[in-house]
Structure 1
């Protein structure tokens, strides 16, 4: 029997047992200043089924409310307690450093989306150079060549990249004072302008939300803000026992 590893925390913490993956109860495996929060689990690949994902997330959410965590990737399984302790021993300095980095903090997500029906048309309308390029490409009754369409598409992609960077930078500049770190994550579709993860002290969550509101008031009115969290700091620290 292996161990499903949810997170690493410090030995100063004493989280309560929780029902985790496969309805197994969580417990601690410790080494020095570190504890891994685990539950029994067969060795091998664990399917990313909804119930398993939900169970792992449920444990992390409950722990995240009170404890500093280094969350593990879903499906992280150690073969034995000895293997897990070797990982904790071998990566001790790195893990302790990362716990210090996220001490007292949680992750919040901020997404910006264009609410216009056609995001490309929305962008073109705000860039005279794109309007001129579009008019040159589609002048007359003959359809444009493949090369001309490719050039126009490249211009639009580059304009979108710069637009996203500018909007993200503007938002980050407002959020900066209310959080410890902000990282920009990949956007999911043409409508998404920014996908940000912020490391926020638990004691400053209300300040962070006010900063998001202030940023939303400064940006274009067709851009919608969505704020989510608090979550474990997945986008700031993540380890697996096979590392190192």
Structure 2
């Protein structure tokens, strides 16, 4: 018996948005992206089997590329990855039930995009700076150098704790400086938890498109000032994943 077909829902957009002919959806083979319209709203969707396992890297890439590409030309409310409904009527019911909230959120996002700033310390450079600024840590490093882990276990534990604390303090300081630098050039910001123990900064920013160039230049300057010890990445423009989604407005 053939698999039952459902609709994978990517995001909610104004009703005049049309997917490009080359838009690729999730699934294997990828589904064709379509829209379901209701009033001022539309949902970007594609057909998938209701029993189909989704979550491959290719699926996540397709989901993000569709939303990010849409955000570059129109406001979009991302829908949580993996949301599958039974058909167009279920999508239309969702849009109708939350029409005014979705429409107001899209109005707020008009001409705004997300950028994410992520920086990770160069481990060797960071430790060298920490040891240079802490005689106690430097002394412990001298004590363990060239000796076995078993013979210097306690010293290594203390040294690791001191380095970890120093990294945390530096991360907090760098994050404050990043936020302070970019607040004047952004509408809102959303600090993110570290994804790695060597993360220096990790934050999302909602930016007006007419300030996009200024924002990018400020991030580049921030990165240049720290290029010896932090490897910075600027991701965007992106859909506003960290600021609003359809699920946040429903729940």
**8 Å contact 1:116–1:122 — kept in the other structure?**
no
> Conserved in 2, the CA contact under 8 Å of 1:174 and 1:214?
no
Cα distance, 1:105 vs. partner? Answer: 1.4
Judging changes above 3 Å, is the alpha-carbon distance between structure 1 residues 99 and 44 closer, same or farther for their aligned structure 2 residues? farther
Aligned-pair CA distance for 1:20: 1.9
Q: Which position in structure 1 is the counterpart of 2:6?
A: 2
Greater displacement, 216-225 / 64-73: 216-225
Q: Which of residues 34, 37, 50 is equivalent to 1:30?
A: 37
1:121-200 equivalences under 5 Å are 121-128=128-135, 130-131=137-138, 134=140, 143=151, 153-200=160-207
In the alignment, does 2:2 pair up with 1:20? no
CA gap 1:75/1:46 in 2 versus in 1, 3 angstroms: farther
Alpha-carbon distance in 1 for matches of 2:12, 2:235: 23
Give yes or no for contact 1:112–1:223 (8 Å, CA) kept in 2: yes
- Structure 1 gap ranges (5+): none
Distance in 2 (CA, whole Å) between partners of 1:230 and 1:110 is 11
Shift of 1:155: 4.2
Moved over 6 A (4+): 135-138
What's the CA shift for 1:7? Answer: 0.7
How far did 1:9 drift? 0.9
Aligned-pair distance for 1:57?
3.0
Change in 2 beyond 3 A, CA 1:101/1:45:
farther
Aligned match for 2:241, one of 204, 229, 234: 234
Structure 2 partner of 1:209: 216
- With normalisation by structure 2, the TM-score equals 0.79
Determine whether 1:110 maps to 2:117.
yes
**How has the CA–CA distance of structure 1 residues 27 and 172 changed in structure 2, closer, same or farther, with 3 Å as cutoff?**
same
Displacement after TM superposition at 1:202 (Å):
2.3
User: Contact conserved, 1:20 with 1:58, CA < 8 A, in 2?
Assistant: no
SS at match of 2:80: coil
Q: Is the 8 A contact 1:46 1:75 kept in 2?
A: no
By how many angstroms is 1:186 displaced? 2.3
Unaligned runs of 5+ in 2: none
Distance 1:128 1:30, change over 3 A: farther
Compute the RMSD of aligned alpha carbons: 3.1
TM-score normalised according to structure 1 size? 0.81
* Offset of residue 152 of structure 1: 5.2
Q: Provide closer, same or farther for how the CA distance between residues 145 and 65 of structure 1 changes in structure 2, counting only shifts above 3 A.
A: closer
1:71 pairs, out of 71, 74, 78, with 78
